[in-house]
C-alpha cells in the first residue's frame, strides 16, 4: 500500500534523475532549471515533510517529460506499459494517455499488446509531414462546401458524427493500401468501413493528430482550446460535448507542451490563453528549451506552464481521502525481444543525429535536397520556417526494414479513421481558413 507506493516513487526518482543526468550532456547548454513554481513542500527537512498534494506534480506534461527522459536513449528497445507505469510511479491509465499522443506525433509505435517501440524525436518530422500532407489533401480534395452551413437539419442533439459516406474515400483507401505495401492485403476482402470505429474516432490519438493538423495548415499560429474544440468538432454542439472535448485538448496540449511542440501563451490582453505552434521545437526536456529565435510577437507573453525538473509522483492523493490505489503493478515479461535492433537500425540509418541538431527521420532523403536553413525569407517578423516540416518534405518513403513497415501500417490505419471523421469537419475549416492556408509556404 502506502509503503510500496513510496518505494515506487523512490525508484522513479532515481531512474529519472539518472536519466536526466545522463542527458545533460546532450543538451546544448546546461541551464539550471529556473523552476517557476517553487516546490510546495520545499520547506522543512532534507526530504519532504509530508508533501501536500500538488496537481502540477501529477500533470500529464510532467509525466510525459519524465517518460521521454526515461526512454529517449539509444539503448531503449521496446517499452512495456507496466514497466513504464511502474517506473514513473503512475497508474497504467495515464501511460495510455501519454503513449497515445506520443504515437500520434511519431515518437512511438505500437508494436504489440503492452508493447511500444521507441522511435524518438527523429520520427517527428515524418509524422508531421504525413499529417500535413493529409490535411492539405483533405482540404483541396473534399467538397469545398463554401460558407454553407451544411444544415444537418434537426439539431440531433448529442450525436455529432454522422457518417456521410464520401465517394472518394474509397479511392484514398486504395491508394493507401498500395503505399502501405501490405503483403497480406487482399484486393477485395478487407475493404471495409470498419464499422463501429466510433470509439476510435474519438480517441485521444486522433484528436491529437487533428489538433496538430490544425497548426500545420493554418497560418495563424495560435489557437485557444475553445477554438480548437469548435473547429475539430462540428458546429453547434451540446455544451457537454464541448466541455469534454476541451478537457481532452487540455490533456493533449499539456503533453505537446512538454515536448516543446507548442507553447502556451497569453493572448494579447484579457483573453483566454492560447497555444502557439513551435514546430521547430528542440529537445523535449525541461523548460529551458532552446527554442531558437522566434521572439514572441509583440504583445503575447509567453508564460508557458513550466514543468518542473523534479521527478514525478509521490503516493499522495488528491485529497485527504486515503484510499491507497495500489495497483498490482506487476512487472513480468520483457523477454529478449527481436525488435530490439529495429530501433538501432533506424538509428544508424539516420546517422545518429541528435547532437547535430539536424536529423533525418526514419527515411533517409531520397534526393539529397538540401533546403537552405531558412535562407532568406521574410526579413523581420517571425518567420515560421518549420524545421521539422521542411526537413521532411524531401523525404521519399522508401523503407527497408521491419519497423518502418509497421510505422506505415500504423499511419495508414490512422488515416482511415481520421479521414471519415475529418470529412465532416473540413467544411468548417474551410470557412475559417479559406484558401490562403492551402498554399502557405511549401
Partner DNA sequence: GATTCCCGCCATGGG
Partner DNA sequence: CCCATGGCGGGAATC
Among 13, 76, 81, 409, binds DNA (CB under 7 A): 81
Q: In this complex, which beta carbon is closest to DNA, that of residue 172 or of residue 413?
A: 413
C-beta contacts of 286-295 below 8 A and 24+ residues apart? 286/33, 286/65, 287/33, 287/34, 287/36, 288/27, 288/29, 288/31, 288/33, 288/34, 289/260, 290/28, 290/29, 291/260, 291/263, 293/382, 294/382, 294/384, 295/382
Is 333 among the residues that bind DNA (CB under 7 A)? no
Shortest Cβ 284–DNA spacing (Å): 16
Is 113 among the residues that bind DNA (CB under 7 A)? yes
Is 184 among the residues that bind DNA (CB under 7 A)? no
Among 91, 133, 161, 413, binds DNA (CB under 7 A): 91
C-beta atoms surrounding 130 within 10 Å: 21
Shortest Cβ 265–DNA spacing (Å): 11
Q: CA 153, CA 167: separation in Å to the nearest integer?
A: 22
Is 96 among the residues that bind DNA (CB under 7 A)? yes
Among 54, 173, 177, 334, binds DNA (CB under 7 A): 54
Is 248 among the residues that bind DNA (CB under 7 A)? yes
The residue among 254, 292, 261, 264 whose CA lies nearest residue 279 is 261
Is 50 among the residues that bind DNA (CB under 7 A)? no
Is 261 among the residues that bind DNA (CB under 7 A)? no
Is 51 among the residues that bind DNA (CB under 7 A)? no
Shortest Cβ 78–DNA spacing (Å): 12
Say which residue the cell 495510455 belongs to.
96
Taking the mean position of all CA atoms in its chain, how far away is CA 185? 29
Q: In this complex, which beta carbon is closest to DNA, that of residue 254 or of residue 347?
A: 254
Is 250 among the residues that bind DNA (CB under 7 A)? yes
Q: From residue 166, how far is each of 141, 150, 171, 189, 419 by CA, in Å?
A: 11, 15, 10, 20, 9
Is 218 among the residues that bind DNA (CB under 7 A)? no
Shortest Cβ 49–DNA spacing (Å): 15
Shortest Cβ 332–DNA spacing (Å): 10
Is 247 among the residues that bind DNA (CB under 7 A)? yes
Q: In this complex, which beta carbon is closest to DNA, that of residue 53 or of residue 399?
A: 53
Q: In this complex, which beta carbon is closest to DNA, that of residue 78 or of residue 392?
A: 78
Record the cell numbers describing residue 243, joined without a space: 466541455
Among 5, 66, 72, 100, binds DNA (CB under 7 A): 100
Segment near DNA (CB under 7 A); pick from 168-176, 240-248, 344-352, 398-406: 240-248
What letters, b where the CB count within 10 A reaches 16 and e where it falls short, cover 235-265?
Answer: eebeeebeeebbebbebbbbbbbbbbbbbbb
Terminal CA-CA length for the chain: 55
Among 23, 39, 53, 145, binds DNA (CB under 7 A): 53
Q: Which of residues 114-133 bind DNA (CB under 7 A)?
A: 114
Is 317 among the residues that bind DNA (CB under 7 A)? yes
Is 394 among the residues that bind DNA (CB under 7 A)? no
Q: CA 347, CA 344: separation in Å to the nearest integer?
A: 5
Shortest Cβ 240–DNA spacing (Å): 6
Record the cell numbers describing residue 293, joined without a space: 529565435
Is 59 among the residues that bind DNA (CB under 7 A)? yes
Listed in sequence order, the residues at least 6 apart from 275 whose beta carbon sits closer than 8 Å to its beta carbon are 222, 223, 224, 225, 228, 253, 256, 257, 262, 263, 264, 265
Is 229 among the residues that bind DNA (CB under 7 A)? no
Is 193 among the residues that bind DNA (CB under 7 A)? no
Shortest Cβ 63–DNA spacing (Å): 8
Record the cell numbers describing residue 46, joined without a space: 532534507
| Length of the chain (residues) | 442
Q: CA 353, CA 333: separation in Å to the nearest integer?
A: 31
**436 DSSP 8-state letter:** G
C-beta atoms surrounding 371 within 10 Å: 12
C-beta atoms surrounding 159 within 10 Å: 10
Is 281 among the residues that bind DNA (CB under 7 A)? no
Among 77, 83, 251, 310, binds DNA (CB under 7 A): 251
- Secondary structure class of 134 (helix, strand, coil): helix
- Secondary structure class of 22 (helix, strand, coil): helix
Among 30, 146, 184, 319, binds DNA (CB under 7 A): 319
C-beta atoms surrounding 17 within 10 Å: 14
- The DSSP code sequence of 136-169 is HHHHHHS----S-----SS--SS--------THH
Is 254 among the residues that bind DNA (CB under 7 A)? yes
Is 386 among the residues that bind DNA (CB under 7 A)? no
Is 339 among the residues that bind DNA (CB under 7 A)? no
* Interface with DNA (CB under 7 A): 37, 40, 53-56, 58-61, 81, 90-94, 96, 99-100, 113-114, 196, 198-200, 202-205, 225, 240-241, 243-244, 246-248, 250-251, 253-254, 272-273, 305, 317-319, 323, 325
Amino acid at each position: 500500500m502506502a509503503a510500496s507506493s513510496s518505494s515506487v516513487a523512490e525508484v522513479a526518482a532515481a531512474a529519472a534523475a539518472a536519466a536526466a543526468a545522463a542527458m545533460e550532456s546532450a543538451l546544448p547548454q546546461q541551464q539550471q532549471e529556473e523552476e517557476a513554481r517553487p516546490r510546495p513542500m520545499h520547506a522543512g527537512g532534507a526530504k519532504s515533510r509530508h508533501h501536500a498534494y500538488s496537481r502540477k506534480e501529477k500533470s500529464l506534461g510532467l509525466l510525459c517529460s519524465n517518460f521521454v527522459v526515461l526512454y529517449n536513449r539509444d539503448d531503449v528497445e521496446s517499452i512495456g506499459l507496466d514497466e513504464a507505469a511502474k517506473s514513473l510511479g503512475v497508474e497504467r491509465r495515464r501511460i495510455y494517455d501519454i503513449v497515445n499522443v506520443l504515437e500520434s506525433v511519431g515518437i512511438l509505435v505500437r508494436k504489440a499488446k503492452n508493447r511500444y517501440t521507441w522511435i524518438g524525436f527523429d520520427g517527428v518530422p515524418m509524422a508531421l509531414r504525413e499529417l500535413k500532407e493529409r490535411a492539405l489533401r483533405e482540404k483541396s480534395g473534399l467538397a469545398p462546401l463554401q460558407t454553407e452551413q451544411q444544415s444537418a437539419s434537426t439539431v440531433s442533439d448529442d450525436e455529432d458524427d454522422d457518417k456521410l459516406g464520401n465517394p472518394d474515400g474509397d479511392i484514398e483507401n486504395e491508394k493507401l493500401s498500395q503505399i502501405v505495401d501490405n503483403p497480406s492485403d487482399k484486393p477485395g476482402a478487407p475493404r471495409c468501413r470498419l464499422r463501429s470505429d466510433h470509439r476510435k474516432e474519438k480517441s485521444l490519438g486522433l484528436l491529437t493528430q487533428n489538433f496538430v493538423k490544425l497548426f500545420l495548415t493554418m497560418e495563424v499560429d495560435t489557437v485557444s482550446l475553445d477554438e480548437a474544440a469548435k473547429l475539430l468538432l462540428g458546429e453547434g454542439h451540446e455544451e457537454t460535448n464541448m466541455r469534454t472535448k476541451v478537457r481532452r485538448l487540455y490533456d493533449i496540449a499539456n503533453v505537446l507542451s512538454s515536448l516543446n511542440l507548442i507553447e502556451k501563451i497569453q493572448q494579447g490582453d484579457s483573453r483566454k490563453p492560447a497555444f502557439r505552434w513551435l514546430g521547430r521545437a528542440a529537445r523535449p526536456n525541461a523548460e529551458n528549451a532552446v527554442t531558437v529565435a522566434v521572439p514572441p510577437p509583440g504583445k503575447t507573453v509567453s508564460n508557458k506552464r513550466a514543468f518542473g525538473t523534479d521527478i514525478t509522483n509521490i503516493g499522495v492523493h488528491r485529497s485527504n481521502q486515503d484510499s491507497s490505489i495500489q495497483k498490482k503493478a506487476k512487472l513480468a515479461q520483457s523477454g529478449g525481444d527481436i525488435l530490439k535492433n529495429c530501433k538501432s537500425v533506424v538509428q544508424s540509418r539516420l546517422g545518429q543525429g541528435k547532437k547535430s541538431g539536424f536529423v533525418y527521420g526514419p527515411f533517409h532523403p531520397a534526393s539529397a535536397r538540401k533546403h537552405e536553413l531558412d535562407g532568406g525569407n521574410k526579413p523581420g517578423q517571425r518567420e515560421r520556417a518549420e524545421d521539422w516540416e521542411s526537413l521532411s518534405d524531401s523525404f521519399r518513403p522508401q523503407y527497408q526494414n521491419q519497423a518502418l513497415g509497421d510505422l506505415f501500417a500504423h499511419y495508414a490505419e490512422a488515416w482511415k479513421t481520421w479521414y471519415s471523421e475529418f470529412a465532416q469537419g473540413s467544411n468548417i475549416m474551410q470557412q475559417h481558413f479559406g484558401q490562403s492556408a492551402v498554399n502557405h509556404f511549401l
